[in-house]
Amino acid sequence: MSRPLDGKVAIVTGAGRGIGRGVAATLAEAGAAVVVASRTPAQLESFVAEATAAGHRALAVATDVTDEQAVEALVVRTVAEYGRVDILVNNSGVLSSTPLLDQDPSDWDRVVGTNLRGTYLMTRAVGRHLVAQRSGKVINIASNFALMGVANHAAYAASKAGVIAFTSCMAVEWARNGVQVNAVAPGYFATELNAEMRSDPAVTEKVLKAIPARRMGEVEELAPWILLLAGTASDFMTGETIVIDGGQSAR
């Protein structure tokens, strides 16, 4: 079995479930030691148990990515445990579906704080190591909502558009340091994040009609793109955003 990431160390945020958990499993299977982070310790420990049982290296560190001290502690723990860090996947994210006129500023701050501030804090903390060693990969999980007008999702779409702009800026800043920074913008994938929406047949039907492929994606279809961005195949690719949404944003 090919293990293209042997010897590499990856941090994946929002790894307790959904896309983050699937990405972490893919990186572990590719040979990386994976540090999984989120605010759900039980889910993280479950992942570590499964990964170690399969012969992979994994570590769980409960982390709130909006907390600067917690982020710094996560990176310190990673380097103490594995001696380095090579790959960062910024996947932590929260969603709010609220008309702007009804949205409380605290909810706006919660969404933008997690999705954009969290990406900034994690990238800054890990980036110090990547720039110093003159190699590394940062992969930011954005959203196709950043590329479309979507009613009742202003905070989420704005935060993810910020992630795409942040990706471009960091790609330019760190290109000469051997660090590649790219983003993936998924559309609707069947995960816990949208489980409530998918429980309503009428809403689900409306969503599927807006997707030319007439279905949602599966995490297994997204993880290989993360693997490509984490490996040597993307060494000359930086500042890019890969959209994977069944054609929704192409309409």
Tens digits of per-residue pLDDT, 10-57?
Answer: 999 999 999 999 999 999 999 999 999 999 999 999 999 999 999 999
What are the catalytic residues? 156
Higher pLDDT, 192 or 85: 85
Task: Identify the pLDDT of residue 191.
Answer: 82
CATH topology of domain 9-244: Rossmann fold (3.40.50)
Tens digits of per-residue pLDDT, 107-135?
Answer: 999 999 999 999 999 999 999 999 999 99
| H, E, C per residue of the chain | CCCCCCCCEEEEECCCCHHHHHHHHHHHHCCCEEEEEECCHHHHHHHHHHHHHCCCCEEEEECCCCCHHHHHHHHHHHHHHHCCCCEEEECCCCCCCCCHHHCCHHHHHHHHHHHHHHHHHHHHHHHHHHHHHCCEEEEEECCHHHHCCCCCCHHHHHHHHHHHHHHHHHHHHHHHHCEEEEEEEECCECCHHHHHHHCCHHHHHHHHHCCCCCCCECHHHHHHHHHHHHCHHHCCCCCCEEEECCCHHHC
